[in-house]
């Protein structure tokens, strides 16, 4: 169980992002950042076509639950389906026909996550992880910041991946690094894969900065 930090994934979250020749060329990315896997929100055929062109075998196409009809368009890459409600996830996943690799549970303090789940989150996460593993998939826990600070250490033995939502910190790399480091300390051991998310913005230096700082954390 005790693997070192394996993944740092950049989440491209810009709503309505237009895929055009103005996007940064893959070859222009700094060498150290280029080696990092990415998880890429797959919300349209155009986005998936772009993902198929630029992705590598360890990159992950991430599907919100309402876009699972697009799963078959991803070519020979890992696939992840995300849910804010575990009740919905359990219903939908029993019917899934496509091969997937990850199930992502994204509980937050919002109406998309039922209040009953928010109030019993530890039990729900354990149940969700057991269900996911029984189907041969990996389980990703993607809480909001408050839930991460409250529950991450308690559910770490049951999950395979945690994605920390650090987007609000990324304009302040020092604060970003401090918070990520604190979360790593909370769950070590036995977390398997530790992920930090950065929003891709026009100010492209911000994701590069926060990823670079995260990589500098002495995680051996």
**pLDDT score of 80:** 95
Residue 10 resides in a domain: no
Q: What is the mean pLDDT of residues 39-61?
A: 89
Q: Residues in the chain, how many?
A: 220
Percent of the chain predicted with pLDDT > 70: 68
Higher pLDDT: 201 or 151? It is 151
Residue 17 resides in a domain: no
Higher pLDDT: 106 or 55? It is 106
Residue 3 resides in a domain: no
Residue 111 resides in a domain: yes
Residue 110 resides in a domain: yes
Q: Residue 79 in contact with residue 58, Cβ under 8 Å?
A: no
Helix H or strand E segment including 127? helix 121-134
Highest mean pLDDT among 4-18, 48-62, 144-158, 169-183: 144-158
Residue 169 resides in a domain: yes
Residue 5 resides in a domain: no
Number of domains in the chain: 1
Lowest mean pLDDT among 36-50, 79-93, 109-123, 201-215: 201-215
**pLDDT score of 23:** 39
**Rounded to an integer, what distance in angstroms lies between the CA atom of residue 152 and that of residue 59?**
24
**pLDDT score of 110:** 96
Q: Residue 32 in contact with residue 220, Cβ under 8 Å?
A: no
The long-range contacts involving 181-187, CB below 8 angstroms and separated by at least 24 positions, are 181/217, 183/148, 183/149, 183/152, 184/5, 184/217, 184/219, 186/152, 186/153, 186/156, 187/152, 187/153, 187/156, 187/162
Higher pLDDT: 210 or 42? It is 42
CATH assignment at residue 173: 3.20.20.70
Q: Residue 5 in contact with residue 192, Cβ under 8 Å?
A: no
**pLDDT score of 94:** 92
Q: Which DSSP symbol is given to 171?
A: T
pLDDT category of residue 84 using cuts at 50, 70 and 90 = very high
**pLDDT score of 158:** 93
**Residue 162: domain span:** 30-215
Q: Residue 117 in contact with residue 88, Cβ under 8 Å?
A: no
Residue 21 resides in a domain: no
Inform me whether the pLDDT recorded for 204 exceeds 70: no
pTM for the full predicted model: 0.76
Q: Residue 210 in contact with residue 198, Cβ under 8 Å?
A: yes
């Amino acid at each position: 169980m005790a693997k070192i930090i394996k993944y740092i994934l950049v989440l491209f979250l810009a709503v309505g992002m237009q895929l055009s020749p103005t996007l940064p060329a893959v070859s222009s990315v700094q060498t150290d950042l280029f080696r990092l896997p990415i998880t890429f929100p797959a919300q349209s055929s155009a986005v998936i076509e772009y993902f198929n062109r630029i992705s590598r075998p360890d990159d992950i196409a991430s599907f919100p639950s309402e876009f699972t009809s697009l799963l078959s368009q991803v070519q020979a890459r890992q696939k992840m389906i995300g849910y804010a409600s575990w009740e919905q996830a359990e219903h939908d996943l029993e019917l899934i026909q496509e091969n997937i690799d990850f199930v992502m549970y994204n509980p937050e303090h919002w109406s998309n996550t039922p209040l009953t789940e928010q109030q019993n989150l530890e039990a729900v996460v354990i149940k969700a992880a057991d269900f996911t593993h029984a189907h041969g998939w990996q389980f990703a826990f993607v809480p909001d910041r408050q839930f991460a600070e409250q529950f991450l250490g308690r559910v770490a033995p049951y999950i395979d991946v945690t994605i920390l939502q650090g987007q609000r910190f990324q304009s302040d790399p020092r604060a970003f690094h401090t918070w990520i480091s604190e979360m790593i300390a909370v769950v070590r051991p036995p977390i398997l894969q530790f992920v930090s998310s950065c929003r891709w913005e026009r100010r492209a230096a911000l994701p590069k900065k926060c990823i670079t700082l995260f990589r500098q954390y002495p995680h051996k």
